Structure 1
């Protein structure tokens, strides 16, 4: 099997099956992708919150590719094995006006620049308070081209993948994507060093990554109609959580309520300002559906691991 390389500038900004592939590879080949962060290099370690006001939004969430996988035909499945993900030594998290689950409540831009301790596998959210986040890097964007004539934004997820922002697709995981066009036309990007389930403020710990992936065509998975994935071992033994909940007849309202309650809890019990609490929920908290059958209300929880509070 061959190993290929994709450079940072070999990227595109929309999903569109008319985009010419940058590589044609055999099924089973490995590709190493060198990807800029989701800001497409607009945010740097020296950036401040004022930098967010000049972001060119049409340049965000670029993906590297597309890769034509020989033998992939509509109806097949593209098997994406995540061999490794390496981050940069820095990252960023932001509240960007117009993005996030509570975008109507957090209207001012805010930016946090992280120093990533890759050797020990964590990043301090607040060193003085002893709040540190385990690093679990993954690519937020992994997808193949849609059969419909494009272009389609890279911001949302689709049945063919895209911005799935799923923190469990780390090294050792396998992602399965439904092929809709010949060659699949796979692309990847949006590196994250850590993220909670839900990415509630709209950003995780965003960072450049080098992702090594193996792409294989599978012919016998007709049930792959949306992204499926198989995780590496997930160890949550002995973890303790503090959970707030939202109880509402609308699922999104319940999620927003659970998040608001966690922000209030963190603000009072851990003496955080609300915007810091909001960003902490995005990088470390898990938004979970706990009860969805007893109408008229849904119950959604925001679960915060207590282990991140080392003091």
Structure 2
């Protein structure tokens, strides 16, 4: 029977801005166990009166050497019997806002930054959990360049201008960052997506979906972070609506299963494979190679046939253009292959 564990976000369980395979586990689980886990908004300093609670405030005060990436990472979780090459599944069972406010940034790294004179703007969003929506509450001009993680803008130090236009967005709670610890030693910056997961920012990693990745070290070292209230494909201005989220995940270990280079998302009706590159062309190419390899292996069919069907029905989406290395995911409709038998080695 699966055990249920709880991981609170605090100075012992959270890291800021990088991944490191030397981290000590914060928890050990067996395959099938469930973990209630808290993920925090790394933009909480944009409105600390609304986005801080006591734990978040303590984390901001504790981590003074924030000199790498932006992201707050909760983990790692040691998975019993996991070995390099095994497949780890992170299934989201539930997600709820930790608080009803989030932050969205028109950032200097956003796609249209030059068109906005590289001026940076903050929008604070409010959540209506009963209606399952979020909407912009107020905005302000950022008073200095955003050039370091975890900057704090105190209330009263800027002019908060109410947003009077009645815009509503559906809640889209998801983890932008998740995966397992890397094989490579040393600190690895949290900004870019990686083959072990990292900051891949697929908005479809929501309740009811499963992320698959290969363990790279013994015990895998599962983590989550970079939680969002909403995000569009592309994450155009540099961020989604960043918000702290309390989630429930199930961690499953799969032996003798084959994956290729990058993570795979099972989003229900689709398989979603990922590609990364410094241009969208390169990212799309890698996603296409991953898609052909995955489907041809899964169903023991020719790569030529897969290539044909993907051209007819494979949907390539821009995952994000905000993370230095760009991301593209290919959504593969399961229905198209329903009459074929899956390979036992496939996830």
TM-score by length of 1: 0.69
4+ aligned runs moved over 4 Å, structure 1: 45-48
Question: What is the DSSP-based 3-state SS (H/G/I as helix, E as strand, rest coil) of the residue aligned with 2:9?
Answer: coil
TM-superposed deviation, 1:46: 4.2
Q: Which residue of 2 aligns with 1:84?
A: 94
Q: Deviations over 1:96-154 (max 9, x none)?
A: 33x22233444112100111111101122487443211111001110111111121011
Q: Hey, what does 2:265 align to over in structure 1? A: 229
Residue 57 of structure 1, CA deviation: 5.9
Query: How far apart are 1:43 and its partner, in Å?
Result: 3.0
Q: Is the 8 A contact 1:82 1:173 kept in 2?
A: yes
Secondary structure of the residue aligned to 2:71 is: coil
SS of the equivalent of 1:131 reads coil
Say whether the 8 Å CA contact 1:79–1:176 is kept in structure 2.
Answer: yes
1:64 aligns with 2:71: no
Corresponding residue to 2:106 among 92, 95, 98:
95
Counterpart among 12, 23, 27 of residue 23 in structure 1: 27
Number of aligned residue pairs: give it. 234
1:168 and 2:204 matched: yes
Say whether residues 1:191 and 2:227 are aligned partners: yes
Aligned pairs for 1:152-301 within 5 A: 152-232=188-268, 251=280, 288=317
Q: What stretches of structure 2 of length at least 5 have no aligned partner?
A: 52-64, 138-162, 271-278, 282-315, 319-327, 329-347
Q: Say whether residues 1:110 and 2:121 are aligned partners.
A: yes
Q: Can you give the 5+ residue segments of structure 1 that lack an aligned partner in the other structure?
A: 49-54, 235-249, 253-286, 290-299, 301-311
- Offset at residue 200 of structure 1 (A): 1.4
Deviation, structure 1 residue 225: 2.9
What SS does the aligned partner of 1:42 have?
helix
- Relative to structure 1, the CA distance from residue 133 to residue 110 in structure 2 (aligned partners, 3 Å threshold; closer, same or farther) is same
1:38, distance to aligned residue in structure 2 (A)? 2.2
Task: Select 2:14's aligned residue among 11, 14, 21.
Answer: 11
Q: Secondary structure at the match of 2:208?
A: coil
Could you state the TM-score of these two structures normalised by the residue count of structure 2? Answer: 0.62
On the 8 A contact 2:124/2:136 being kept in 1, the answer is no
Q: What is the CA distance between 1:224 and its match in structure 2?
A: 4.3
Tell me how large the CA RMSD over aligned residues is.
Answer: 2.7
* Residues 1:47 and 1:172: Cα distance change in structure 2 (over 3 Å): closer
Q: Name the structure 2 match of 1:283.
A: none
